[in-house]
Homo-oligomer: A and B are copies of this chain.
């Protein structure tokens, strides 16, 4: 599956310059000259999607502990309102091949200039060649919203910091973008999260940078438009402080387990989405 393509900056360029059209691992080169390898989705909606990150929950029982790279590895801590700061810095981690087993972020996350995002929720530990088939949800945006926000999430989150107390619920929402489903539907999105959360969102969107009732910041609400203020049960990533529950909401998958781990009861999310990594693509 190795494909070397000199000086291609993204999977979109690979598909345009070389007419490769099969999914797999490709070499890319960033504008600063960093060479890295990542997965290209060459089939969805015309292809050319570059995997730039994955959000993986390694231990929902650990609250902002080792492995919570998209929130904080330093414990729940009001002194670190941005937590590890991964959403808006250039620190990279993980590998494409282990993107469903660990957090992942490559130079494409901050380097590529893109127009849209695509999200796949893939069961943990799935091998690369089964991601597409194994995914429990796949969708993408198509309105080129990233062109208004600096061309990627790195720049978007510079403008909308994932930072405790940087705003308040509803008033200070980041972009909310409608999605097109490649696998799944409004109904299947709604079923991923706990029954109580239905009052808190509208399916068919992706939301960026939201605050909950206690002003804790979260990065992405996948598949939904956040409408309420109890967002910590279905939005992911975050700053370093979640006041409610004595830190029990701090972590990459925040408080997906409020009413028990993967119980799909009350505010708790389903086992399916709790044990799936969220893969983020750009095009």
Q: Which residues of the other chain, B, contact A79 by a CB distance below 8 angstroms? A: 59, 61, 261
Say whether chain A's binding surface is mostly helix, strand, loop, or mixed: loop
Q: Which residue of the partner chain, among B25, B35, B74, B80, contacts A32 with CB atoms under 8 Å? A: B25
Residues of B within 8 A of A75 (CB): 62
Instruction: Find out whether the CB atom of A101 lies under 8 angstroms from the CB atom of B85.
Output: yes
- Please determine whether B97 and A90 come into contact, CB atoms closer than 8 angstroms: yes
Please measure, in the bound complex, the distance between the C-alpha atom of A262 and the C-alpha atom of B195, giving whole angstroms. 46
Q: Is A45 an interface residue (CB 8 A)?
A: no
Indicate if the CB atoms of A62 and B74 lie closer than 8 Å: yes
In the complex with contacts A1-B33, A32-B97, A65-B74 CB distance below 8 A: yes
* Beta-carbon contact of B127 and A90 below 8 Å: yes
Number of copies: 3
Distance A161 CA – B3 CA, assembled complex (angstroms) = 34
| CB <8 Å contact, A97 and B107 | yes
A89 at the interface (CB under 8 A from B): yes
- Chain A stretch 73-120: residues in CB contact (< 8 A) with chain B: 73-75, 77, 79-80, 84-85, 89-92, 94-95, 97-98, 101-102, 107
Q: Please, how many angstroms separate the alpha-carbon atoms of A62 and B72 in the complex?
A: 12
CB nearest neighbor in B for A103: B91
B95–A2 touching, CB < 8 Å: no
With A61-B80, A62-B74, A66-B73 known as contacts, the answer to whether A2 contacts B33 (CB < 8 A) is: yes
Check A91/B98 contact, CB under 8 A, given A3-B33, A74-B65. Answer: yes
- Of all chain B residues, the one with the shortest Cβ separation from A129 is B32
- Judge whether A37 is part of the interface by a CB distance below 8 angstroms: yes
The complex places the Cα of A37 from the Cα of B101 at a distance, in Å, of 22
Contact partners of A33 in chain B: CB under 8 A:
1-3, 24-25, 37
Q: Are B98 and A90 in contact (CB under 8 A)?
A: yes
* A128: interface (CB < 8 Å): yes
Complex interface: chain B residues within 8 A of A58 (CB): 74, 84
- 5 further A-B contacts with Cβ under 8 Å, apart from A32-B97, A59-B74, A85-B125, are A2-B35, A32-B128, A66-B66, A66-B73, A67-B74
- Chain A residues close to B by CB (< 8 Å): 1-3, 24-25, 29, 31-35, 37, 58-59, 61-62, 65-67, 73-75, 77, 79-80, 84-85, 89-92, 94-95, 97-98, 101-102, 107, 125, 127-128, 261
Query: Top 3 A-B pairs ranked by shortest CB distance?
Result: A2-B33, A89-B101, A90-B98
Supply 23 A–B pairs (Cβ within 8 Å), ascending by A. A2-B29, A24-B33, A25-B34, A32-B128, A34-B37, A34-B95, A34-B97, A58-B84, A59-B74, A59-B80, A61-B79, A61-B80, A66-B66, A67-B74, A79-B261, A89-B98, A89-B125, A90-B95, A90-B127, A91-B94, A91-B95, A91-B101, A92-B98
